[in-house]
Structure 1
Amino acid sequence: MTQPPASGTARVAVVIPAYNEEETVGEVVRAGLSLTPEVVVASDGSSDHTARAAALAGAQVVELRENAGKGAALHAALQATSAELVVMLDADLTGLTRTHLELLIQPVQSGTLDMSIGVFEGGGFVTDWGNKLTPHLSGQRACRREWLLGVPHLGTERWPEPAITAHLKATGARWDYVVLGQVAQVVKEKKRGFWKGAQARTRMYADLLTFHARRKRS
């Protein structure tokens, strides 16, 4: 079901689930603050200084005691704001600007789309390739907060993107991809070292790609 267009004065919040992203979360927060004064970071049981870095950059910070997954962190961030519209961002982005965020939010503000999904282009081979191979798994999105809170199992999915995509189909929402030029993500292999990063990536894709099978069994 499509939603009516948002008014030009509708509040916008940027929500950022984060786990051990102290090196990059500040940059993402500052980009978010260039769009709106309301930026919420939910630190998902981080063992580093993610929460401190986010707060120093100007974000409102919610701290989860334990690492419960991106879905739980996203849900906590959404609960910490009452803004009508939200821009959802990953905490490990580089090259993000206000222009990118405006590209994401404007189709939702105008009522053209119910959700816009950002895909990378020109930010780097690895992230460009991975994003284009599985664009439906992108963590850069804009939509109505109420709609996102209505996604079944949002707070219990370690990686919530498949659940969000399934809800797009179930609700008949209008959505499209938006190109985010020169934006990239810091790959897990760089953040954690090659072997630990590769293991984390394997676990992530295993969880993402088994979403439908797990939900059929539940």
Structure 2
Amino acid sequence: MPSVAVVIPAFNEADTVAQVIRAALELTPDVVVASDGSTDQTVEAARTAGARVIELPHNAGKGPALKAALQATQAEYVIMLDADLVGLTRAHLDILLGPVLAGQLGMSIGIFDGGGLITDLGNKLTPHLSGQRACLRAWLLTVPHLGEERWPEPAITAALKEQRVKWDYVELPNLKQVMKEKKRGFWKGARHRTRMYIDLFGFKRRKKKAEKGG
């Protein structure tokens, strides 16, 4: 089997990161968590669970954390996972990785199915923002602005389209995420979600500005 790594950007996900790591270790020993300036026990929880941990000194965003995790492994293929998943199993990883290993897809993107009404709905309304993906590591590292974007998914989607990489969604049954409103409290979580979507949907504007050189 080709070499595979699981990379997990994480910011203050001490409550869930260990269970994500344990599922990942059933597939591969090469599991890398990039702590994005976490201020809770994420680093300790990840190391105890068996992952290699890269510690970023400040909360720079998911993009820089993802790139740091990718640079910490030499695996041919990678699976990207969010650190706040609930219900992750080895079977989910096989669903993500299978079409890529078989050469059917350049990237698979996981969407929740049956994990819970709210997370299912949110994931299916904006499936292109899913953090559950599998692809060649070398290709992912070529994505423009990957390590500069706080949320890298729009940059990845743009690269897929521009390079005409074959990709598709795969359903991940009985998997969900912890809602931001639950993790941070309703109002703080809602503000965080709003800022996230503003940043996500501002990618095209930033991309055009960069292409114009200013």
Same fold flag (TM > 0.5): yes
1:181 aligns with 2:173: yes
| Alpha-carbon RMSD | 0.5
Give the Cα separation in 2 of the matches to 1:168 and 1:216: 17
CA offset at residue 217 of structure 1?
1.8
Gapped regions of structure 2 (runs ≥ 5): none
1:57 aligns with 2:53: no
Look up the SS of the partner of 2:53 in the other structure: strand
Gapped regions of structure 1 (runs ≥ 5): 1-8
Look up the SS of the partner of 1:36 in the other structure: coil
1:100 aligns with 2:92: yes
* Alpha-carbon displacement from aligned partner over 1:159-197 (angstroms, at most 9, x marks no partner): 000000000001110100000000000000000000000
Look up the SS of the partner of 1:165 in the other structure: helix
Look up the SS of the partner of 1:63 in the other structure: strand
Aligned partner of 2:146 in structure 1 is: 154
Aligned partner of 1:20 in structure 2 is: 12
1:38 aligns with 2:16: no
Q: Percent identity?
A: 68
Aligned partner of 2:159 in structure 1 is: 167
Map residues 111-122 of structure 1 onto 2, 5 A cutoff.
111-122=103-114
Aligned partner of 1:74 in structure 2 is: 66
Look up the SS of the partner of 1:123 in the other structure: coil
Aligned partner of 1:6 in structure 2 is: none
Give the Cα separation in 1 of the matches to 2:162 and 2:43: 35
1:217 aligns with 2:209: yes
Stretches of 4+ moved more than 3 A in 1?
none
1:144 aligns with 2:140: no
Aligned partner of 2:124 in structure 1 is: 132
CA offset at residue 210 of structure 1?
1.2
Look up the SS of the partner of 1:162 in the other structure: helix
Look up the SS of the partner of 1:20 in the other structure: coil
CA offset at residue 215 of structure 1?
1.2
Look up the SS of the partner of 1:177 in the other structure: strand
- In the alignment, residue 93 of structure 1 is paired with which amino acid? L
CA offset at residue 97 of structure 1?
0.4
CA offset at residue 107 of structure 1?
0.6
Q: How many residues align?
A: 210
CA offset at residue 213 of structure 1?
1.3
Per the normalisation by structure 1, the TM-score is 0.96
Look up the SS of the partner of 1:152 in the other structure: coil
Give the Cα separation in 1 of the matches to 2:42 and 2:64: 16
Per the normalisation by structure 2, the TM-score is 0.97
CA offset at residue 214 of structure 1?
1.6
- In the alignment, residue 36 of structure 2 is paired with which amino acid? D
